[in-house]
Amino acid sequence: MRTRWFGFPEQVNETSARLVAAGVVLQGLVYLVVQQWWVLVPLALGFLARVLAGPRFSPLGRLVTQVITPRLRNVPPKMVPGPPKRFAQAVGLVFSGGALLALALGSPFAASVLIAGLVVAATLESVFAFCLGCVMFAQLMRLGVLPESVCLECADISARLASATS
């Protein structure tokens, strides 16, 4: 599935993505409660690791994909395109990294707003399987900002429509 040391999987198990999002929700809530900069470091580094290499270097990603998801025997894997999920991880990196930067610049309120937004987005993903980053990705493809070659499966929705109706 992966041929490079760094790189994101072309297909992602949505169950794993939702569980990682739940972990992000927990990390974000911890920050909002304790308001300590060091809580944001593993959050931002986790996003960076997942953007660069999927779950390969992310402790949360590895825990989810190698320990938790395999134990969910009654939950069949639902594979979804990887590029939109990678984009969503990059958005998470911008929010968590932006929160760290805001704290460094002396604006804890801005950091809390960024993390609250991240918690809302991650909650939508984890609870409802609604990925805001994926919606942004699709919109950028429709506008031509992202070329169709980035995600051929995303560009051709006929297969997804056929599987949704059967």
Confidence (pLDDT) at 96: 98
DSSP secondary-structure letter at 124?
A: H
pLDDT tens over the chain, length 166 residues: 444 567 788 899 999 999 999 999 999 999 999 999 999 999 999 999 999 988 889 999 999 999 999 999 998 989 999 999 999 999 999 999 999 999 999 999 999 999 999 999 999 999 999 999 999 999 999 999 988 888 888 866 555 545 555 5
- HSE of 77, CA atoms in CB hemisphere, 13 A: 12
Count the Cβ atoms, other than its own, within 10 Å of residue 80: 18
Confidence (pLDDT) at 137: 92
Confidence (pLDDT) at 1: 43
Sign of CA dihedral 64, 9, 57, 96: negative
Q: Where are the domains of the chain?
A: 11-165
Q: Alpha carbon 37 to chain centroid distance?
A: 21
- Helix, strand, coil percentages (3-state) for the chain, rounded to 5, are 75, 5, 20
Count the Cβ atoms, other than its own, within 10 Å of residue 119: 19
Confidence (pLDDT) at 164: 52
Confidence (pLDDT) at 2: 44
Confidence (pLDDT) at 30: 98
For the purposes of burial, counting CB atoms within 10 Å of the CB of 163, is it exposed (0-12), middle (13-18) or buried (19 or more)? exposed
Confidence (pLDDT) at 165: 54
pTM above 0.85, yes or no: yes
